[in-house]
Structure formats: structure tokens, C-alpha cells
């Protein structure tokens, strides 16, 4: 039997001792990532009754699950819509419309557009990340490509005044990407929620108030 590497053993120990993992399990949430979103959403009051939310890179469903519950709590009569997409399969969530496919492919984007049916989106969430090779020169461009696709989707489907919340990795291309967000949105801030592991290079860009025209 193959033995686990020291790094994988360290990750397992860290994961199962993680207070956010334990809290997610206790509260019936699919992922500790829900607490990242909870902090980001509540700090800036991003959710409103009846919103249409698109969750890119949704599996295993932690963000979609939290948003669906939060929207229902805000307004049970008009809980809005949550549309989720991922290259990985995701077990069904009540009230979440899930599409299985690779966001990099045109036919998957077309299916997502068909699901929306021409309705403008209020909030685009993107927690997308590529499978890591461990080589920054490979991983960072892949991550940036996904981020650019998410920004392009928001350009075409987010309503004027809408919000994009997207995971980014600090490194090559980061500053230029943030500059592009500032051409498109009235306010752009970078956040690192408490549930985001300190050693992780991930941060979240919150871009609010999509402009009618790019500067």
C-alpha cells in the first residue's frame, strides 16, 4: 500500500482539526467555504429579496446552499433564483438549478444562458479554481483564465448596478485584473475572510455597481 506524503498527512490533520470544518459538519453545510461567503455577504449586505444569483464553480455546493437558505430567510414569498454550474457533479440542492459542465466550453455557456432565459443577473459568484499542478507558472495562468471568463460572463449578463464576487490568486496578472474590474464597477475592494486559510494565496475581489459602460 502506498504511504501518504508528509504534505498530504499535514493537510488531513489540518482539515479535520479546522474549526470551520467542524462547524460546517455540525450545521449540515456541504463546505467550510460557506463561512467565507457568509462573512463577505453580510459585511457588505449583498443579498436582497428576489435576487437572481449565479454561482460559478459551485461544487460541492457550499455557496449555493448558503445563498439559497439566506434568500429564503430574507423573503419566503419571493426567494429569487440560484443557478449553479460546475465541471464536477454536484448532489441536488432544493431550489438550486444546477448545470454540469466546463465553463470554458461555449456549449456550456450557451446552456447557462438558456437556463437564465434572458433574465439579468443581480449577483455573480465565482469560487472557480483549476486543478493544481503545484507549479505556479502553470496554475496561475489557468486560474486567471477562469477569472477572465467569469468577468466576461458578468459583462454580458450582470445587470447595471449588479455585483461580482470572485476568487483570485495573488501573482502574475492579479494587478491587471483588478484594474480591469475598476474600469467596469463603481467600487472594487479586496477581501480575505477569516475562514480563508492564512497560507493560501487566495483572496476575493468584490466588485459592486456594474457600470453601464466600461471606462
Start-to-end CA distance of the chain, whole Å, equals 58
CATH code of residue 58 = 3.40.50.150
Of the candidates 23, 36, 48, 167, the residue annotated as catalytic is 167
- Provide the residue count of the chain: 215
Residue 215 falls within a domain, yes or no? no
Total domains present in the chain? 1
Residue 117 is labelled as binding a ligand: no
pLDDT tens digits along 149-187: 999 999 999 999 999 999 999 988 999 999 999 999 999
Q: Which domain holds residue 104?
A: 35-210
- Is 3 part of a structural domain of the chain? no
pLDDT along the chain (215 residues), means of 10: 52 51 57 83 93 96 94 87 96 95 95 96 95 77 95 97 96 95 98 83 96 96
Grid coordinates representing 41 are 455577504
20 within domain boundaries: no
Per DSSP, 130 falls in state P
Identify whether 196 is part of a domain: yes
**Is 107 labelled as part of a ligand binding site?**
no
Q: Domain for residue 53, yes or no?
A: yes
Q: 63 a known binding residue?
A: yes
In 3D space, the residue among 182, 171, 168, 189 whose CA is nearest the CA of residue 43 turns out to be 189
167 noted as active-site residue: yes
Amino acid at each position: 500500500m502506498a504511504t501518504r506524503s508528509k504534505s498530504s498527512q499535514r493537510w488531513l490533520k489540518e482539515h479535520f482539526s479546522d474549526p470551520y470544518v467542524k462547524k460546517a459538519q455540525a450545521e449540515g453545510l456541504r463546505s467550510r467555504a460557506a463561512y467565507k461567503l457568509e462573512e463577505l455577504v453580510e459585511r457588505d449586505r449583498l443579498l436582497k429579496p428576489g435576487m437572481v444569483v449565479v454561482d460559478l464553480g459551485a461544487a460541492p455546493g457550499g455557496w449555493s446552499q448558503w445563498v439559497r437558505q439566506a434568500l429564503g430567510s430574507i423573503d419566503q414569498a419571493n426567494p429569487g433564483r440560484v443557478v449553479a454550474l460546475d465541471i464536477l457533479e454536484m448532489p441536488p440542492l432544493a431550489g438550486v438549478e444546477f448545470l454540469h459542465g466546463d465553463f470554458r466550453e461555449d456549449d456550456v455557456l450557451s446552456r447557462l444562458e438558456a437556463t437564465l432565459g434572458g433574465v439579468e443577473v443581480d449577483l455573480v459568484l465565482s469560487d472557480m479554481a483549476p486543478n493544481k499542478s503545484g507549479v505556479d507558472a502553470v496554475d496561475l495562468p489557468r486560474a486567471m483564465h477562469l477569472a477572465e471568463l467569469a468577468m466576461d460572463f458578468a459583462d454580458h449578463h450582470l445587470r447595471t448596478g449588479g455585483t461580482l464576487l470572485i476568487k483570485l490568486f495573488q501573482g502574475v496578472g492579479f494587478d491587471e485584473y483588478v484594474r480591469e474590474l475598476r474600469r467596469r464597477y463603481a467600487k472594487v475592494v479586496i477581501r480575505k475572510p477569516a475562514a480563508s486559510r492564512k497560507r493560501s494565496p487566495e483572496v476575493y475581489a468584490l466588485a459592486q455597481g456594474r457600470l453601464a459602460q466600461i471606462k
